[in-house]
Structures are given as C-alpha cells and as structure tokens.
Homo-oligomer: A and B are copies of this chain.
C-alpha cells in the first residue's frame, strides 16, 4: 500500500474533501452528505487521507471530526517548487527571444 501525499491528492474526490474541511472541521457524515457516493466510499477516502497525515480525526462523543492538516502539502509544494526556476527561466528566454524578434522587425 503506497500511502503518500502525492497519491492521496491524485483523486479529485479527495481533493474536494480537503477543500471542504480546510476552513472548518466536519464529522464523517457531514462530509459524506456533500457527495453522491456512499458514506462508506467517503470513509475510505478519509482513511487514505488520514494514513498520509493530511487529515487528523478527533473524536467527540459518537462523532468524529475531520480536520485538514494542510502543512502536509508542503511535501508537494517542495517537489514542485524545485522546478519553478527552470520553467520560469525557459519562459523568460522565450519572451526575450520574441522581444528581440520584434525589435528586429521594427528595424526593417
């Protein structure tokens, strides 16, 4: 079982769950009510999110509140950002090239 953050956010339903509980914790049923799949399906998604640390569950009576641990997304952020400079540089040099081309055309 691969249970890392990259795999967890690959599923659109799980990304929606995260956005749903990002601002305000919700119990399992409340999360499930917002989708048209079964509660069990959502429960499984929550389990995957919990296993990689993106969600923490806090028991309150018979309810369990799901809280997003957004800082876990830094793993993804770090991985993507290592490439940002590269793609910016490439876009920059493309822009420069186009600017030079434009300048050249003006001279003619």
- Determine the distance from Cα of A48 to Cα of B70 in the docked complex, in whole angstroms: 28
8 Å CB contacts to B: which residues of A11-65? 12, 15, 18, 22-23
Residue among B6, B15, B73, B74 making CB contact with A9, cutoff 8 Å:
B6
**Chain A contact residues: helix, strand, loop or mixed:** helix
- Is there contact, CB below 8 Å, between B77 and A73? no
Within the oligomer, what is the number of copies of this chain? 2
On A, residues with C-beta under 8 Å from B are 2, 6-7, 9-10, 12, 15, 18, 22-23, 70-71, 73-74, 76-77, 79-81, 83-84, 86-87, 90-91
Q: Quick one: closest B residue to A84, CB to CB?
A: B77
Residue among B2, B7, B81, B90 making CB contact with A77, cutoff 8 Å:
B81
